[in-house]
């Protein structure tokens, strides 16, 4: 399963989380309020190695950004902050479920949550400086992929 297939699988999991409005597999050019909360997945760095059994292993980091509400919208500062809180348990439950292990043909994937950022008040689309800041959460996942004798 290649990186784009993993993103599609992750976004399928995210789209099913209560309260998530959009989890697109294509990167949007803008975040519209009607699309929030929105989840985007960015593939990060990876470590590649050969395994003892003539296979190969890849440990790749995926950054999951949950954009909840633009800063400055809502009733006071606390509204956007409060809207982030339920997502900690909802995402954690999905990530920790045993059913999220991916096995297809001779490829095995396992997902580990490395950390979440806590509530952030500075998420901008694609990290663009000067862009609209959002309340949100960042999750860092590590997905192990082993190809060969699984």
pLDDT at 105: 55
pLDDT at 19: 98
* Alpha carbon distance 116, 9 (integer Å): 20
Please give the share of the chain, as a percent, with pLDDT higher than 90.
61
Is the pLDDT score of 88 beyond 90? Answer: yes
* Alpha carbon distance 27, 126 (integer Å): 9
pLDDT at 101: 62
Mean local confidence (pLDDT), 81-99: 90
Give tens-digit pLDDT for 35-62. Answer: 999 999 999 999 988 877 767 888 899 9
What are the CA-CA distances from residue 113 to residues 39, 63, 85, 93 (Å)? Answer: 16, 10, 18, 11
Give tens-digit pLDDT for 100-114. Answer: 565 555 566 788 889
92 alpha-carbon distance from chain centroid: 11
Domains and CATH numbers, the chain: 3-147 (3.30.2000.10)
pLDDT at 108: 62
Give tens-digit pLDDT for 20-29. Answer: 999 999 999 9
Mean local confidence (pLDDT), 66-81: 89
Q: Cα Rg for the chain, rounded, in angstroms? A: 17
pLDDT at 86: 98
């Amino acid at each position: 399963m290649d990186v784009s297939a993993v993103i599609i699988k992750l976004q399928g999991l995210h789209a099913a989380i209560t309260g998530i409005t959009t989890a697109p597999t294509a990167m949007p050019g803008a975040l519209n309020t009607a699309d929030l909360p929105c989840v985007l997945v960015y593939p990060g760095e990876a470590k590649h190695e050969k395994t003892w059994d003539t296979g190969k292993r890849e440990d790749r980091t995926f950054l999951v950004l949950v954009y909840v509400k633009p800063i400055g919208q809502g009733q006071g500062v606390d509204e956007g902050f409060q809207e982030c809180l339920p997502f900690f348990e909802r995402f954690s439950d999905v990530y920790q479920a045993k059913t999220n292990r991916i096995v297809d043909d001779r490829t095995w994937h396992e997902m580990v949550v490395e950390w979440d950022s806590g509530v952030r008040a500075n998420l901008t689309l694609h990290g663009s400086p000067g862009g609209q800041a959002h309340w949100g959460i960042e999750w860092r996942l590590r997905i192990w992929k082993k190809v060969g004798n699984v």
